[in-house]
Structure 1
Amino acid sequence: MASLLRTTLDVSARLAPGLAGAPAFALFVRPLGRPRLRPEEAEVMAQARTGRMLVRGIPVTTYRWGDGERPVLLVHGWSSRASRFAGFVEALRAEGRTVVAFDAPGHGESGGRASTVRDYREIISRLHAEYGDFSTVLAHSVGVLAGLFSLRDGVRADRVIGIGGIAEFGYLLDQFRARLGVGEAVERVLRSHIERRVFPGEADIWQRLDATRGPADRQMPILLIHDVDDDVADPAQSRAIAAAHGSRARLIETSGLGHRRILADRRVIAEAVEFAVSPPPPPSPESSESSESSATSPSSRPSDARASAVAR
């Protein structure tokens, strides 16, 4: 079946590109399964005040813990859900912070079977309109790309935390091609479909979907945490974000946690929450921006007995 699908897409993309875009896109935007709520996440999620919004006619579930201003926004990754941030919610609430989150279409408790970066952007923008500026945007995987994309389009936050982040949309297309084993022709028709159907009339969309180009806010500090054993998002993605944002970015690399278990690591959670609740640094002159990222000292890096952080 996989071989037949691959051949069909490849042939269609070469001979009838106008017809190949829709089926390729349908595969591209469909999550790889819908993970269930884990028992250890249930209590935290039960404490949330849930809400609903419609995105493309699809019911989207939102969550809120607390009633304070300038909440922390959580943005989950692909084939994931907001509940995976349960440990972060507990730690942030212990610091008195209000937290908001959502399940994107096709994820968690939301409806639908597919989701796009545009959906993420719309949800984040509407939460921003409802709750005001965020104190922190804390995101994982594709959520990092979506969060930074939204910040370029008017959403405001004091700081960003990206865990196992994706820097550029083109990387997602490369992964899609590799997973299906299809050729460049499929990517070309997929790009064309995205331009015409997902972002019609939006200029420079590929530049804006690349977090390494033109940082949204030149004063906003960024913490990046990425595991060197991540088999989903290449650590080079976070390194590229760090390099693009210069001295405002701090990159921490762990090992042995992978792409998903990193969200449950106690030291990673502690490091992220400490960054989220710390006072904002004074504005730095534009001239102080550099292409190098800093790393924490060995004693403060998130790690466990099996894995130590590596500064790159």
Structure 2
Amino acid sequence: MANAVLNNSTNGRINSTNGRAQRRHVPPWFRSGFRVMGAMAPAAAATFGHRLLFTPRRLRPRDEERAVLARGQRFSFDVDRERIVARAWGEGPTVLLAHGWGGHSGQMTSLVDALVAAHFRAVAIDFPGHGESEGRLSSLVHFARAMARASAIFKPFHGIVAHSLGAAAVTYAFAHGGLQTSRAVFFAPPSDFHTWWGHFRTQVGVSDAIWHKIQRKAEGWLDVPFESIQPTQLAPHMSTPLLILHDVHDREVPIEQGEDLARRWPGATLQRAEHLGHVRILHDATLIQRAVSYLTEGAM
């Protein structure tokens, strides 16, 4: 029950029927109950909070997304004994499509036809705990492992197009997972997770002491310190040419984060959009063509 409450609020900001970003809030009784648990049973609260933080909501693709998915070649592979589902369209240099937290490969299908028309092979993955793939818990590190496995299958990737947390996972995979590509395009990328973690703490009612326990538990589980996954720390060491597309009215990942990432990533280009928000930016025909043109320039 508590997991459902959170997934319909903090992590569930995308409405499953229309795909629009919506801000919701965890009810006060949940925060009060979590605070009581933290005071009376801190270890249990930390375990519960850890599961809440790393359990994504599974959204259903919209009808138009399902239609494009149905046209793709479905395949699967294993990562850490979990089955990962992916689809591929077209022939040519491979471009990986990476969705964000709580998303699915269908959200990236708006780019498929344009990529295929430009003679690329588009490959979209449902990351662990998302879409049709197996798993309940997930993280940026899980995303990166899945991309590394896909890279071994489709090597080399010519390009990667990633949305939101998927972009942060690509950055981490460039730095720590051996992922390589000629060019990358990020839609609405975060540069820093402290705001997200702070929102989670506020919404759920996580005290400093319990957050410290959650962080230690997560770092042991993932075998990485939290600071080592921050895009702000990784970006200055990147060499992959990058195009960032970010809406100035994005309420989920503010434009300031895209601007920050562009400043820190050597040679990155930032293009601002307006009135598209965090999700609809993936469906804008002008920006899709800009992304495909950027990848095409790298193929010449």
TM-score category by the smaller chain? 0.7 to 0.9
Note if 1:178 corresponds to 2:198: no
Query: Does the residue aligned with 2:85 lie in a helix, a strand or coil?
Result: strand
1:83-94 correspondence runs (5 A)? 83-94=106-117
Could you say which residue in structure 1 is the equivalent of 2:180?
A: 156
Give the conservation status (yes or no) of the 8 Å contact 1:31–1:78.
Answer: yes
How far residue 181 of structure 1 moved from its aligned partner, in angstroms, is 4.0
Residue by residue over 1:69-107, the C-alpha shift from the partner in whole angstroms, topping out at 9 and shown as x without a partner, is 4x1111101121111111211100000001112112332
* Equivalent position to 1:26, from 35, 51, 58: 51
- SS of the residue 1:35 aligns to: coil
Aligned equivalents of 1:265, 1:96: Cα separation in 2 = 20
Contact 2:104 2:126 in 1 (8 A): yes
In structure 1, which of residues 135, 139, 148 is the aligned counterpart of residue 162 of structure 2?
139
**TM-fit CA distance, 1:67:** 4.2
Distance 1:15 1:216, change over 3 A: farther
Q: Deviations over 1:12-68 (max 9, x none)?
A: 445654333211011111223x22222222332122111122334432211122343
Cα distance in 2 between the residues matched to 1:28 and 1:217: 28
Distance 1:73 1:208 in 2: 24
* Backbone CA RMSD of aligned residues: 2.2
Partner in structure 2 of residue 272 of structure 1: 291
Stretches of structure 1 lacking an aligned partner (at least 5 in a row): 282-312
Q: 1:93 to 1:121 in 2, by over 3 A?
A: same
2:280 to 261, 273, 276: 261
- Is residue 72 of structure 2 the alignment partner of residue 53 of structure 1? no
Structure 1 Cα separation of the partners of residues 261 and 236 of structure 2: 12
> What is the aligned partner in structure 2 of residue 223 from structure 1?
243
Cα offset, 1:171, TM superposition: 3.3
Instruction: Rate the CA distance shift 1:217–1:165 in 2: closer, same or farther, 3 A.
Output: same
1:80–1:108 CA contact under 8 A, matched in 2: yes
Q: 1:213 aligns with which of 216, 225, 233?
A: 233
Distance 1:127 1:112 in 2: 17
Partner SS state of residue 97, structure 2: strand
Partners of 2:116 and 2:135 in 1: CA distance:
30
Contact 1:225-1:253 within 8 A present in 2 as well: yes
**8 Å Cα contact 1:128/1:155 also seen in 2:** yes
* % identical aligned pairs: 28
Is residue 238 of structure 1 aligned with residue 287 of structure 2?
A: no
Query: What letter matches 2:60 in structure 1?
Result: R
C-alpha spacing 1:14/1:258, structure 2 compared with 1 (3 Å): same
Match of 1:40?
A: 64
Residues 1:263 and 1:109: Cα distance change in structure 2 (over 3 Å): same
Cα distance in 2, alignment partners of residues 262 and 212 from structure 1 = 23
Aligned-partner Cα distance in 2 for 1:136–1:216: 20
Equivalences for 1:121-140 in 2 at 5 Å? 121-140=144-163
Segment of structure 1 superposing worse, 34-43 or 159-168:
34-43
Q: Determine helix, strand or coil for the equivalent of 1:126.
A: helix
Shift of residue 157 of structure 1? 1.0
Post-superposition shift, 1:193? 1.1
Q: Which has the higher helix share?
A: 2
**8 Å Cα contact 1:168-1:209 kept in structure 2:** no
TM-score by length of 1: 0.80
How far is the alpha carbon of 1:11 from its aligned partner? Answer: 4.3
Give CA deviations for 1:165-214 in whole Å, capped at 9, x if unaligned.
12233333123123324333332222111111222xx4xx3333111224
Tell me what 2:34 maps to: 9
**Are the counterparts in 1 of residues 98 and 160 from structure 2 also a CA contact under 8 Å?**
yes
- Taking a change above 3 Å as real, the CA distance of residues 46 and 21 of structure 1, as seen in their structure-2 partners, is same
